Structure 1
Amino acid sequence: MATSRAVPNLAFRGLRGSRSPGEFAAAVRRAAREIGEQVACDARYIGRVESGEIRCPNYAYERVFLHMFPGLCLTDLGFTAREQVRGRGARAAAAPAPQHTIRNDEESDVLRRAFMTGGTATAAAVSLGLGATVPTPRAGGRFGETEVAAVEEAVRRIRLLDDRHGADRLYRQATEPLRTAYALLDSGTAARRSTTDRMHAGAGELSLSVGWLAHDSGRWEDARSHYAEALATARVAGDSALEAHAFSNTSFLARDGGRHREAVRAAQAGQRAARHLSSPRLLALLTLREAGGWAGLGDRTACEEALGRAHTLFGHGPGDADPEWMSFFGEPELEALESQCWSALGDWPRAARHARRAALLQDPHFTRNLALYRAHLAADLARAGRPDEAAANAGLVLDLLDEVHSSRIRALLARTARLLAPHAREAAVADFLDRRTALVTA
Structure 2
Amino acid sequence: MASSTVTSAQPERPPRPNLAFRRLRGKRSPAEFAAAVRRAAREIGERVSCDARYVGRVEAGEIRCPNYAYERVFLHMFPGRTLTDLGFAPRSSVRGRQARGAGESWEAGEPYKTHDTRDDRDTRDNRDTRTDRDDRDDRHTQDLYETHDNNEESDVLRRAFMTSGATVAAASLGPLGLALDAAAAGRPTRRAGTGEAGALEEAVRRIRLLDDRHGADGLYRRAAAPLRTAYALLDAGASRQATADRLYTGAGELAISVGWLAHDSGRFDDARSHYAEALATARMNGDAGLEAHAFCNMAFLARDAGRPREAVRAAQAAQRAARPLGSDRLMSLLSLREAGGWAGLADRVGCEQALVRAQTFYGRGPSETDPEWMSFYGEAELEGLEAQCWSTLGDWPRAARHARRAADLQDPHFTRNLALYSAELADDLARGGRPDEAAGAGLRVLDLLGEVQSSRIHTMLAGTTRVLLPHRRSPTVSTFLDRHGALPRPA
Distance 1:232 1:224 in 2: 12
Distance 2:354 2:78 in 1: 41
Cα shift at 1:272: 0.1
Mapped contact 1:9–1:49 kept (Cα < 8 A) = no
Does residue 174 in structure 1 map to residue 211 in structure 2? no
Mapped contact 2:435–2:471 kept (Cα < 8 A) = yes
Distance 1:9 1:375 in 2: 54
Correspondence for 2:19 among 3, 6, 16: 16
Determine the structure 1 residue equivalent to 2:35.
Answer: 33
Tell me the number of residue pairs that the alignment of Structure 1 and Structure 2 aligns: 416
Correspondence for 1:386 among 422, 434, 439: 434
Task: Report Cα offsets for 1:28-83 as digits up to 9, x if no partner.
Answer: 5333333554632238951798346x875484x55653355434566983455562
Distance 1:316 1:224 in 2: 32
Cα shift at 1:110: 9.2
- 1:210-221 aligned at under 5 Å gives the runs 210-221=258-269
Determine the structure 2 residue equivalent to 1:414.
Answer: 462
Determine the structure 1 residue equivalent to 2:75.
Answer: 66
- 1:188-199 aligned at under 5 Å gives the runs 188-199=236-247
Partner amino acid for 1:376?
E
Deviates more, 1:124-133 or 1:313-322: 124-133
Deviates more, 1:253-262 or 1:72-81: 72-81
Mapped contact 2:182–2:189 kept (Cα < 8 A) = no
Partner amino acid for 2:61?
E
> Residue 142 of structure 1 aligns to a residue in which SS?
coil
- 1:5-404 aligned at under 5 Å gives the runs 13=16, 15-17=18-20, 28-34=30-36, 37=39, 39-42=50-53, 46=57, 50-51=61-62, 56-57=66-67, 59=69, 61-62=70-71, 65-66=74-75, 69-72=78-81, 77-78=88-89, 83-86=104-107, 89=110, 106-107=143-144, 125-126=168-169, 129-130=172-173, 134-135=180-181, 137=183, 138-139=187-188, 141-186=190-235, 188-404=236-452
Go from structure 1 to structure 2 and tell me whether the alpha carbon gap of 1:249 and 1:58 turns closer, same or farther (over 3 Å shift).
farther
Distance 1:228 1:281 in 2: 24
Mapped contact 2:410–2:418 kept (Cα < 8 A) = yes
Task: Report Cα offsets for 1:173-232 as digits up to 9, x if no partner.
Answer: 11111111100111x121211110110000000000111111111111111110000000
Cα shift at 1:249: 0.2
Distance 1:2 1:258 in 2: 55
Deviates more, 1:347-356 or 1:171-180: 171-180
Task: Report Cα offsets for 1:387-409 as digits up to 9, x if no partner.
Answer: 00000000000000111111111
Deviates more, 1:68-77 or 1:162-171: 68-77
Scaled by the length of structure 1, the TM-score of the pair is 0.84
Go from structure 1 to structure 2 and tell me whether the alpha carbon gap of 1:124 and 1:394 turns closer, same or farther (over 3 Å shift).
closer
Mapped contact 2:67–2:105 kept (Cα < 8 A) = no
Give percent identity, aligned residues only.
57
Partner amino acid for 1:246?
A
Mapped contact 2:28–2:366 kept (Cα < 8 A) = no
Gaps of 5+ in 1: 93-102, 113-122
